[in-house]
Amino acid sequence: MKLTDLVNPSVLTQPVYEPGRPIEDVARELGLDPAGIIKLASNENPLGTSPRALAAMQRALGQSNMYPDGGCIALRERLAQRHKVEAGQIVVGNGSNELIELLGHVFLRPGDEVVMGTPAFIVYKLVTLLFGATPVEVPLTNHVHDLAAMSAAITERTKLVFLPCPNNPTGTNNDGAEVKAWVATMPPHVVVVVDEAYAEYLEESPDWTGEWSAGRKLVILRTFSKIFGMAAQRVGYACAGTELAGLLQRVRQPFNVNAIGQAGALAAVDDEDWVTACQRANRAGFRQVEDGLKRLGVVYVPSVGNFLLANVRDGRAVFDRMQRAGVVVRPVGVYGLPEWVRITIGTAEQNDRMLAALEASLAT
Ligand SMILES: Cc1ncc(COP(=O)(O)O)c(C=O)c1O
């Protein structure tokens, strides 16, 4: 018997996630000095990590012989306060990626449908396929999620609907009041997941406080990977109704979030100075990058995240040339956007280097 005869068929056909290339990997392949490479490929925070979080994580290292708090009790209590909900409504995950997978464990079986935009964060589709369910992809209109078309795509088989606010890779967002009104129209057999990974970069996000008492089957996802600068630690969380949160808790590993990440996240939540400084730097970086792209005549999608999509005509070729110049951006052919690259907004110096590398790449 072949090994593949034993394997869950969903695994055999499962597409593989292609992450932003790590600096060390690029350096090794191209014989470059890692210190000279900049990575603007994974929407990480170019300013680093919240200093409060960093100090707390350094302290937590000393307890490395102990298992972490499997219930993430202190962090969940603090997050519940932040979102004005009960601690029982918060589930912490190994990045918000894990929470998307836990939603699959709880809700998805073969034959189920999951409604999502296209292009939208690819993990929604990967998790759907992994559980043998069917992705129902609704094209974006002018790079923005088409809420009416998504509602029209819901059938009696739909279990989950994903809406990233803002979306990755487009950086676009739907109006908060419209999203709230749309969530309220979801039929009772559907769980709606609003992914707010980049919410801290926005001027304002919807207040979901009263939604669960109104009986909504709503999950909000947040992460410490973006503005808080803790992508390496893998901490994200879901805010949901108590019953739904309990189901997510049931299917996670006992110690799914490491102690260093928990300590960092707990300290980062209160680091308002950091968040404000990063918001400001991101806005200035956008002005710099947009001015540069306009000067180069490159079409881009106006974004409210910490990244943008730029049309460079041949995304893979420009990615390759920029990479050889030590600037790693993200080709987005996997999102059906072969002409585009996604570029994270960096520091002023990184943005200058990125624009110079882009200009040279476009000229060749
Ligand atoms: C829209 C969106 N959701 C979720 C994530 C996952 O974040 P993490 O697993 O690091 O919390 C990302 C990461 O890029 C994202 O862009």
Q: Are the C-beta atoms of residues 116 and 136 closer than 8 Å to each other?
A: yes
Ligand 1 pocket, Cβ-based, cut-off 6 angstroms = 43, 95-97, 121, 164, 168, 195, 197, 223, 225, 231, 236
Q: Are the C-beta atoms of residues 347 and 285 closer than 8 Å to each other?
A: yes
Q: Which domain holds residue 226?
A: 51-268
Per-residue model confidence (pLDDT) at position 286: 97
Token output for 54 = 């960093």
Report helix, strand or coil for 261: helix
**In terms of domains, do 131 and 212 share one?**
yes
Closest residue by Cα to residue 173 from 154, 199, 209, 137: 199
CA–centroid distance, 212 to ligand 1, in Å, is 23
Per-residue model confidence (pLDDT) at position 20: 83
Output the tens digit of pLDDT for each of the chain's 364 residues. Answer: 999 999 998 899 998 888 888 899 989 989 888 999 999 999 999 999 999 999 999 999 999 999 999 999 999 999 999 999 999 999 999 999 999 999 999 999 999 999 999 999 999 999 999 999 999 999 999 999 999 999 999 999 999 999 999 999 999 999 999 999 999 999 999 999 999 999 999 988 899 999 998 889 999 999 999 999 999 999 999 999 999 999 999 999 999 999 999 999 999 999 999 999 999 999 999 999 999 999 999 999 999 999 999 999 999 999 999 999 999 999 999 999 999 999 999 999 999 999 999 999 998 7
H helices of 163-231, where? 176-183
CA–centroid distance, 197 to ligand 1, in Å, is 6
Closest residue by Cα to residue 353 from 310, 300, 292, 307: 292
CA–centroid distance, 182 to ligand 1, in Å, is 23
Measure the CA–CA gap between 207 and 227, rounded to whole angstroms: 19
Rg of the Cα atoms in the chain: 21
Residue nearest to atom 12 of ligand 1 (CA): 197
**In terms of domains, do 286 and 238 share one?**
no
Per-residue pLDDT tens over the stretch 89-119: 999 999 999 999 999 999 999 999 999 999 9
CA–centroid distance, 31 to ligand 1, in Å, is 30
CA–centroid distance, 120 to ligand 1, in Å, is 11
Measure the CA–CA gap between 109 and 43, rounded to whole angstroms: 32
Write the DSSP string, 188-245. Answer: TT-EEEEE-TTGGGSS-----GGGTTTT--EEEEEESSSTT--GGG--EEEEE-HHHH
Q: What's the helix, strand, coil split of the chain in %, to 5?
A: 45, 15, 40
**In terms of domains, do 139 and 243 share one?**
yes
Q: Residue 97: which CATH number?
A: 3.40.640.10
Probe target for ligand 1 pocket from 127, 198, 223, with the most ligand atoms within 8 Å of CB: 223
Measure the CA–CA gap between 359 and 298, rounded to whole angstroms: 10
Instruction: Among 253, 268, 283, give the residue marking a domain's end.
Output: 268
**In terms of domains, do 81 and 132 share one?**
yes
**In terms of domains, do 97 and 204 share one?**
yes
Probe target for ligand 1 pocket from 96, 196, 235, with the most ligand atoms within 8 Å of CB: 96
Instruction: Among 229, 253, 268, give the residue marking a domain's end.
Output: 268
Q: What is the β-pairing status of strands 90-93 and 236-240?
A: antiparallel
Instruction: Among 268, 285, 306, give the residue marking a domain's end.
Output: 268
**In terms of domains, do 187 and 115 share one?**
yes
**In terms of domains, do 37 and 79 share one?**
no
Percentage with pLDDT > 70 across the chain: 100
Probe target for ligand 1 pocket from 97, 237, 343, with the most ligand atoms within 8 Å of CB: 97
Q: Residue 17: which CATH number?
A: 3.90.1150.10
**In terms of domains, do 263 and 305 share one?**
no
**In terms of domains, do 158 and 196 share one?**
yes
Q: Burial of 287 by CB count in 10 Å (0-12 exposed, 13-18 middle, 19+ buried)?
A: exposed
**In terms of domains, do 230 and 89 share one?**
yes
